[in-house]
Amino acid sequence: MRSEGRIVIVGASLAGLRAAETLREEGFTGSLTLIGDEPHEPYDRPPLSKQVLLGTASADRTLLPRRWAIDATWRLGVAATGLDMAAKRVRLADGDEVGYDRLLIATGVHARPWPHETEADLDGVFVLRTRDDAARLQRRLTSARRVLVIGAGFTGSEIASACRERGLPVTVVERAAAPLVGALGGVVGQVAAELQREHGVDLRCGLMVTGLEGDSAGRLRCAHLSDGSTVEADVALVSLGATRNTAWLAGSGLGAGPRGIACDAGCRAFDVRGIVTDDVFVAGDVARSPHALFGYQFLSLEHWGNAVAQAEVAAHNMISSSSERRPHLWVPAFWSSQFGVSIKSVGVPSLGEEILIAQGALAERRFTGVYGYQGRVIAAVTFDQTKWLEFYQRLIEGAASFPPAFPMVDHRAEGLRPIPADFPDPSLPTHGPSVTLSGYSPTDRRVTFTPARA
């Protein structure tokens, strides 16, 4: 396998590139092919909603640096359209097929579009996921009069921040009670809401955009909200979360669906019968993998660091014997920069039941919040207090008790006791979670399995 095998990576992404580099670094000298639906080589996505929109970096200067020469065949600008697991072949949109001995799927996610197709086609309606999306939006912002952001998750909030930094009037509409509540809960969400309003954002929570209206020339003119009000805007950014790129695997027999592709801790994909494969691996945003630290829940992580770590584990395991394989147990970590504040988290905040403000104070916009779940530390989030994250990561890894049983440093009165983290009802959609818990409780009987008749 190491010298004569054929490895195909579907997804010319961060995870795809790092996996290819790891394969070569660990001695794989066989055939290597990377397939990507975009015409660009792998590029970095975090700058798209920050530096690119601010005009401090151009979209075409976001290519990822190469850590290792990969000597690969690139099939860019052509999407994978199907998978034949029995014949070990990937079908492409141009009618070609590529055979493999090992396959890595790293197709990531795409931005969920505005659901009304006619309204989505209005001149001035955008999504932001790709390099081309960012370049088009950045150009339009140079002449925009008022921007509407639909959804106040991390991406929507970062875009609103960039627009305000450019001096543009911005209205943000969020169906939840505050920004970021799906990812960080209502306690922290209220801080994010105050931060946005202090920077001049017209933030409207608890509302939905019911329709987008254009003028006679097909240009966006305004948006209608669920409270009957109207917002004038010539640019609308739809930030309603992401959809995992698994549609091309329909009928393949792989355990793939809207939540992603299920895999074991070694990144081997499951088939639809729940049997682990040994020639199909998965990494990055599209993967759903169990994690021992979080009750063996299947986690879908839209995190830069997770994509790198999982890709390296997948690549190693693809060319290693069973005794040499290792698990992917990276602790989730995420960061965002918005309205002059650095927000970072570790663990899975959305699993938390309570939060303790362990350092600093909410009112100061400089604090560390520690999340508890079933009596143990499950996550931490910091606003401009990054130095504490490593400490709390060690507590998470050690399953430390919650609340912590030791005196705190830089402690305020408001953090003496844990309070409810105030996450929304999981059955209600919110925008922008950085971690999706997709395990199922044996007691959950809302879904009925009905075998298909022959």
* Ordered DSSP codes for 101-131: SEEEE---EEEPPPSSHHHHTSBTEE---SH
Higher model confidence: residue 67 or residue 354? 354
Q: How many CA atoms lie within 13 A of 113 on its CB side?
A: 11
Alpha carbon distance 126, 128 (integer Å): 7
Per-residue pLDDT tens digits for 253-304? 999 998 899 999 999 999 999 999 999 999 999 999 988 888 788 888 888 9
348 phi and psi angles, rounded to 5 deg: -125, 85
Per-residue pLDDT tens digits for 25-76? 999 999 999 999 999 999 999 999 999 999 998 998 999 998 888 999 999 9
The angle subtended at Cα 223 by Cα 217 and Cα 224, nearest 5°, is: 125
CA 220 to mean position of chain CA atoms:
28
The confidence score (pLDDT) of residue 231 equals 97
Q: How confident is the model at residue 427 (pLDDT cuts 50, 70, 90)?
A: low
Per-residue pLDDT tens digits for 387-419? 999 999 999 999 999 998 877 777 776 657 899
Question: For 55-213, where are the alpha helices, taking DSSP H only?
Answer: 117-120, 131-141, 154-165, 181-184, 186-198
Asked which of 146-150, 181-185, 216-220, 446-450 is least confident by mean pLDDT, the reply is 446-450
The confidence score (pLDDT) of residue 408 equals 77
Closest CA to 244 of 198, 302, 188: 302
Q: How confident is the model at residue 424 (pLDDT cuts 50, 70, 90)?
A: confident
Rg (Cα) of the chain, in Å, rounded? 23
